[in-house]
Amino acid sequence: MPRYKLTVAYDGTNFHGWQKQHPPETEPLRTVQGVLEDAISHVMREPIHIVGASRTDAGVHARGQIACFTSDREIPLEKIPAAITSRLPDDVQVLGAEIVHPEFSPISECTGKGYRYTIAYGRRLGITKPLFERHFVTWTAYELDAKKMHQAAQYLVGEHDFASFTRLNHGRESTVREVYECTVIESGEREVQIDISGNGFLYNMVRIMGGTLLDVGRGKYEPEKVKKIVEARNREAAGPTLPPEGLCLEWVTYEDEPS
């Protein structure tokens, strides 16, 4: 009974996040997990349950989500991505497939995840909110200083208690996580890109980090303040939670895989 590991990409705009949701007395919400399970079940000709590496929020995108399922049926690996994608809506694609060991867990065996947050900024020269890119970037009217944002981002690197960067009543036993790397660059005309990787992330953690770095970039406080925000372990100390638009899960890694 083979266990399949899929690499999945999706535009999260019209999804209520990754995880299946079925509110009482209503139709199930449209989720990535839900449409994938339907498509895979058709291809495998049996009911399928999939597990994803990251439960992305509504509106968040992915280029490298990992999902796994077990099936009684064996299909040549090279045929699986196209077979499943042909059953999927236009905003989801399966990019690759491989066989893993029968007990493989995409969550517990994950060694790292990488996210990218893209922010367009400023009104100068008549530039306003992005139109065609509006679902893939977030926007602020403030002028941003990417160099100061990058300087501030270095205070997020390392193993810390990130209680300042998750919602209250988060439900996790521990808020300690390790951030491997966090960089901020000018990625285009009036656009900054935040890349962050780590061994795991709390609910809204990347979006709150983004909001905190945005506050530094617009001059609300100096980069050194971020060190104190981390040490405070208090959600009220950090910046706002940025919208889901602009956030993308870029990759997930496992033992013996390159990041």
Q: Active-site positions?
A: 57
Burial class of residue 182, CB neighbours in 10 A (0-12, 13-18, 19+): buried
Whole-angstrom distance, CA of residue 237 vs CA of residue 122: 25
Whole-angstrom distance, CA of residue 1 vs CA of residue 84: 19
The neighbouring-strand residues paired with 252 are 113
How would you write the chain as a 3-class SS string? Answer: CCEEEEEEEECHHHCCCCCCCCCCCCCCCCCHHHHHHHHHHHHHCCCCCCEECCCCCCCCEEEEEEEEEECCCCCCHHHHHHHHHCCCCCCEEEEEEEEECCCCCCCCCEEEEEEEEEEEECCHHHCCCCCCCCCCCEEECCCCCHHHHHHHHHHHCEEEECHHHCCCCCCCCCCEEEEEEEEEEEEECCEEEEEEEECCCCCCHHHHHHHHHHHHHCCCCCCCHHHHHHHHCCHHHCCCCCCCCCEEEEEEEECCCCC
